[in-house]
Amino acid sequence: MKNCRALMSTELISIETSAPIYEAMKLLVAKQVTGLPVVEADGTLAGVITEKDMLRLLYEGDVRNSSVADFMTSSVTSFAPEDSIVDVCECLIQNNFRRVPIIENGKLVGIISRADIIRYILEIRRVDK
């Protein structure tokens, strides 16, 4: 079995904690993703912001000056690059996550999504594409 480093995506779309919340919404729509890792200016993972987190904007008051940090989830399950893909798969099955960040020395270095694991299953099962 491969480890996370072998499977993780490294072309990351992330947003900083200080970014305006509407900037995060626009980024989700433009990149057609359902969530983003949230980082500090130095690349340290601070949390994640998802579509679900942003749904609160419908009934919140004036949030024009709100930042991503005001809406993100800061308690994040993450994995290290050398962790097992099986562990990531079990996490995605047991939780309502679509992706997990991969962290090395506190910094965001990759992400693994459900789709990444599905592609890997197809590869190891040698199913024709």
pLDDT at 41 over 90: yes
Specify the CATH number for 4-124; select among 3.10.20.740, 3.10.580.10, 3.40.50.300, 2.170.130.10: 3.10.580.10
Average pLDDT over residues 50-62: 84
Could you report the per-residue pLDDT of 78-96, keeping only the tens digit for each?
999 999 999 999 999 999 8
* The model scores a pTM over 0.85: yes
Res 123: pLDDT = 87
Average pLDDT over residues 45-69: 87
Average pLDDT of every residue of the chain: 91
Average pLDDT over residues 108-123: 93
Res 57: pLDDT = 79
Q: Token digits for 92?
A: 């995605």
Q: Token digits for 67?
A: 């930042």
pLDDT at 129 over 60: no
- Domain range summary for the chain, segments of one domain joined by +: 4-124
- Least reliable range by pLDDT among 53-67, 76-90, 98-112: 53-67
What phi and psi, each to the nearest 5 degrees, are found at residue 52?
A: -60, -40
107: helix, coil or strand? strand
Contact criterion met (CB below 8 Å) for 43 and 108 = yes
Q: Do strands 107-113 and 99-104 pair parallel, antiparallel, or not at all (unpaired)?
A: antiparallel
